[in-house]
Structure 1
Amino acid sequence: MSALLALLASGAAHALDIRSVSRHGVVLYQAPQDSSKKLFVISRDTPLEALSETDTWVRVRDRDGTLAWVHKADLSTRHFVQAVKPLDVRQRADLDSPVLLHADKDVLLELLDNNHAGWLKVKHRDGVVGYVRIEEVWGA
């Protein structure tokens, strides 16, 4: 029983390894080699979940669950999240807080902080800093 509890606790503590694309036009491949099939091209700042890696490649999953390989050099340590639906960026981590910005589905927001009990502190590309609900974005 204690082994099961330890396993569950370790899974709950495991955070996703989210990385963002470092430039526009990054190619995602079917296998970790340049000669493999090119699946699609992705834009700068798009968050991807890193699943495993080699010296030069990272296996990733996108918001839709698609698995692919990307050159490690094409990923950034900056962390962005992607709106999964239209959302409001609020002044404080509170639903009654004033709305600073309405963002459309798929808008990318830089993640600044994830320590607000269900809220994320984010920054829009126009400089607006505020809070969104964690369930409104992918990549946190």
Structure 2
Amino acid sequence: MTARAWLLATLAGLFSLSAGALEFRSVKETGVALYEAPALSAKKLFVVSRYYPVEVLSTQKEWARVRDATGGVAWMPAAALSNQRWLLVVAERAEVRAGAAAEAAVRFAVPRDGVLELVEPPRAGWVRVRHRDGAEGYARIDDLWGL
């Protein structure tokens, strides 16, 4: 194999790893502790609430190694994760609009650290979301974390 072929194969492998590496899940229970290591006897780092989104980095038996929106990495019981996707508002305020356009009417707004349920995958910088009260609309993906 030539050096160029090796380099291209290596880069292709890296891109395929990074593309498949993002797995976002949400916490399905209230008051789930995140730990320093995958054991209940490990040091508790903090507690997260229901619907809080995390990126799953790896799993080990009944544990998931996760990263939160701040970049913090910890372990949590895998059973506490849901396949239902929630997104964290990271902007000062996320405006949810009637359509996927900046000129669409604002339906409601959610402050920083609020959560919105993912309804449809993002397209062209917007994502369709639902508030816990049932109201739906489109938010800018730049205002959210967990996609």
Q: Shorter-normalised TM-score: what interval? A: over 0.9
**In 2, distance between residues paired with 1:134 and 1:11?**
23
After superposition, the Cα gap between the structure-2 partners of 1:110 and 1:134, relative to the gap in structure 1 and judged at 3 Å, is: same
**In 2, distance between residues paired with 1:28 and 1:64?**
14
Aligned to 1:128: 135
**In 2, distance between residues paired with 1:89 and 1:16?**
25
The within-5 A match list for 1:106-117 is 106-117=113-124
SS of structure 2 residue aligned to 1:14 = helix
One of 65, 68, 72 as aligned partner of 1:59: 65
Question: One-letter code of the match for 1:110?
Answer: E
SS of structure 2 residue aligned to 1:73 = helix
SS of structure 2 residue aligned to 1:88 = strand
The within-5 A match list for 1:11-50 is 13-14=19-20, 16-50=22-56
Offset at residue 11 of structure 1 (A): 5.1
RMSD: 1.5
Structure with a larger share of its residues in helix: 2
Aligned to 1:3: 9
**In 2, distance between residues paired with 1:99 and 1:90?**
4
**In 2, distance between residues paired with 1:130 and 1:8?**
36
**In 2, distance between residues paired with 1:47 and 1:118?**
20
SS of structure 1 residue aligned to 2:142 = helix
One of 98, 107, 117 as aligned partner of 2:105: 98
Offset at residue 9 of structure 1 (A): 4.4
> Which entry has the higher C-alpha Rg, 1 or 2?
2
Structure 1 gaps, min length 5 = none
Q: What is the percent sequence identity of the aligned residues?
A: 45
